[in-house]
Amino acid sequence: MEDLALKPQFGGAYAGRRILITGHTGFKGSWLCLWLTSLGAEVTGLALPPDTEPSHWRLLKLEGVREHTVDLRDRAGVERVVAETQPEVVFHLAAQPLVRRGYREPVLTFESNVLGLINLLEALRTTRSVKALVNVTTDKVYREAAVATGYPEDHPLGGHDPYSTSKACSELVTECYRLSFFAEAGLHAATARAGNVIGGGDWSEDRLVPDFVRAASAGHALKLRNPDAVRPWQHVLEPLSGYLRLGQALLAGAGAEGVWNFGPAADDALSVQKLVTGMQTLWPMLRVELQPGRHPREAGVLLLDSTKARRELEWQPVWGVDATLKHTLDWYHGFYEGGHIRSRDDLQAYVAAASKARLPWAA
Domain coordinates in residue numbering, the chain: 16-358
- Kindly give, in sequence order, each residue whose CB lies less than 8 Å from that of residue 162, ignoring residues fewer than 6 positions away: 102, 103, 106, 109, 110
Residue, of 148 and 27, whose pLDDT is higher:
27
Class of residue 99 by CB neighbours under 10 A (exposed 0-12, middle 13-18, buried 19+): buried
What does the alpha-carbon distance between residue 159 and residue 145 come to, in Å, rounded to a whole number? 11
- The span from the CA of 111 to the CA of 338, in Å, is 40
* Domain at 16-358: CATH architecture: 3-Layer(aba) Sandwich (3.40)
Strand partners, 157: 142
User: For residue range 328-359, what is the model confidence (pLDDT) as tens digits?
Assistant: 999 999 999 999 999 999 999 999 999 999 99
Least reliable range by pLDDT among 16-25, 135-144, 209-218 = 209-218
Section 281-290 average pLDDT: 83
- Calculate the alpha carbon distances from 228 to 129, 143, 164, 187 in Å: 47, 20, 20, 43
CB under 8 Å to 273, separation ≥6 — which residues? 224, 227, 228
Task: Count CB neighbours of 143 within 10 A.
Answer: 13
Look at residue 6 and tell me whether its pLDDT is greater than 90: no
pLDDT of res. 358: 96
DSSP state of 53: S
**pTM for the complete prediction?**
0.95
Segments of 33-113 assigned E as strands: 42-47, 66-69, 89-92
Q: What is the pLDDT of residue 295?
A: 52
Q: Please give the Cα distance from 170 to 147 (Å, whole number).
A: 23
CA distances from 229 to 62, 152, 286, 300 (A): 36, 20, 20, 5
Nearest to 237 by CA among 172, 121, 324: 324
Mean pLDDT of the chain: 92
- Would you put residue 358 in left (φ > 0), alpha (ψ -120 to 50) or beta? left
The dihedral built from the CA positions of residue 86, 27, 262 and 73, taken in this order, carries a sign that is negative
Non-local CB neighbours of 288 within 8 Å, separated by 6+ positions: 221, 222, 223, 224, 276, 280
pLDDT in tens, 117-143: 999 999 999 999 999 999 999 999 999
The pLDDT tens digits for 81-97 are: 999 999 999 999 999 99
SS3 212: helix
Q: What percent of the chain has pLDDT over 90?
A: 77
Looking at residue 47, its pLDDT comes to: 98
**DSSP calls for 83-98:** HHH--SEEEE--S---
Q: What share of the chain is helix, strand, coil (3-state, %, to 5)?
A: 45, 15, 35
Report d(CA 363, CA 351) in Å as an integer: 10
